[in-house]
Amino acid sequence: MKHREQGMGRRWFYLAVGVIAMLFAGILYAWSILKAPFAADFGWGASELALNFTLAMCFFCLGGLLGAQISKRLGHRPALVGAGVLTALGFGLTACLSGASVGMLYVTYGVLAGLGIGISYNVVISTVSSWFPDQKGLCSGCLMMGFGASALVLGNVANSLFGSSLGWRMTFVLLGIAIGVVLILGALLLKKPGEDVHFPESKKKAALAENFDRKEYTSRQMLSRASFWMAFFCIVFLAAVGSSVISFAKDLALSVKASESLAVTLVGVLSVCNGVGRILTGAVFDALGRKKTMICANLLTICAAAMTLLAVSVSSLPLCIVGLCLSGLSYGSCPTITAAFTSSFYGMKHYSNNMALMTFNVMGGSFVATLSSKLLESTGGYTVPFLMLLVLTLAALGINLCIRRP
């Protein structure tokens, strides 16, 4: 009983540490703010900068897989220390760019920072989640909220520092140092529960639980299940809406006649909704179960795409604000569902690796975001991109309704 009480007490401390680590790692999602100096000083176009975000998300996914392997072989501490060093190096080298080639941005920010943040993302989630087998949704939601809120907190700090005497180069250096220090401190503070720590059973009502035998799936077994691929592509299509909006949120607001300051604020609002969506989805997952949660998230994403499409069609700032808020909420549901779905369907024994593989849906969403930017450039407007996104959300609903036990 004593060990159980100690475990119950410690886990909330580890959750708090995890949220702070995720808050700093989530700076990756503030790209619509961080990209401004490169467009202004170097003249790099929207599609070139959108490709950098796509590359960052690709290496973010690869980093998750790498983090799972390092954590498995060496433990979570070396993985997080490595993540901190890589991220700090990526931001530091980005600050040294001369503007001669956008390819160097892809290496420093897209590859190095993306890889480092991906490693930290997987390791923090898998380490902290091991303390919450009875509250998977709540734990995932809190961690994802920290990650999503970063664009508001650090993004606005960065935007302010860009216009100060520090300039964008020193701002990138300071961000890199701060992220590196926080991740290394997280490595020292976080630990996994021992075998002597016991947690209460899940309070989820039996009627809400899906009827299948629970077992621990290896990654190979998981990849051979139709349930994995249906959930994977469903989340890809849902994440595509938020990923696209995040990549051009500021420009989207400006297109419906928002002021510069309001456009930056709306990027922050999008981030807040992203964070709120993550923790709300976690709470709903614990209360209503997997199926109802995923359907609700799907319907929310359909509304987000439809509302934003209507906003750009009639050039309405109020409707655009609603669309951005809905997009943030819907996008926030995706990573929480990814984490909670993976642990619920495939168990915790191989969770770190399974989670890394499922997180590749982020890469799919980012590729769609790049396609959205290409359509924006070729058509000169947001109508066609959002029509495409709306179709994808409807396709996701069809897939969603077909997901069954693994």
Hey, what domains does the chain have and what are their CATH numbers?
A: 2-400 (1.20.1250.20)
Read off the pLDDT of each residue in 277-289 and give the average, rounded to a whole number.
Answer: 81
Q: Among the listed ranges 32-36, 96-100, 133-137, 147-151, which one has the minimum average pLDDT value?
A: 133-137
pLDDT in tens, 135-193: 776 787 788 778 877 877 888 888 889 888 888 999 999 999 999 999 999 999 988 88
Residue with tokens 């303390």: 131
The 10 Å Cβ neighbour count of residue 383 is 14
What is residue 348's DSSP assignment?
Answer: S
The pLDDT of residue 255: 86
Tell whether the torsion through CA atoms of 148, 361, 373 and 332 is positive or negative. Answer: negative
Give the Cα separation of 297 and 300 in Å (integer): 5
Model pTM score: 0.73
Which residues lie closer than 8 Å to 242 by C-beta, 6 or more apart? 274, 301, 304, 327, 328, 330, 331, 332, 334, 365
Q: What is the mean pLDDT of residues 39-53?
A: 82
Please, are residues 299 and 284 in contact by the beta-carbon 8 Å criterion? no
Nearest to 49 by CA among 27, 25, 33, 26: 33
Q: What is the tens place of the pLDDT at every residue in 288-318? A: 888 888 999 999 999 999 999 999 899 899 9
Mean pLDDT for 28-37 is: 83
- Residue 264 to residues 14, 137, 248, 251: CA-CA distances in angstroms? 33, 31, 11, 9
Average pLDDT, whole number, for the chain? 85
* Residues near 255 by beta carbon (within 8 Å), at least 6 away in sequence: 312, 315, 382
Report the length, in residues, of the chain.
406
**Distances in whole angstroms, Cα of residue 243 to Cα of each of 18, 235, 287, 301, 392:** 23, 12, 27, 12, 13
pLDDT category of residue 1 using cuts at 50, 70 and 90: very low
pLDDT of residue 33: 82
pLDDT tens digits for 6-18?
Answer: 556 688 898 999 9
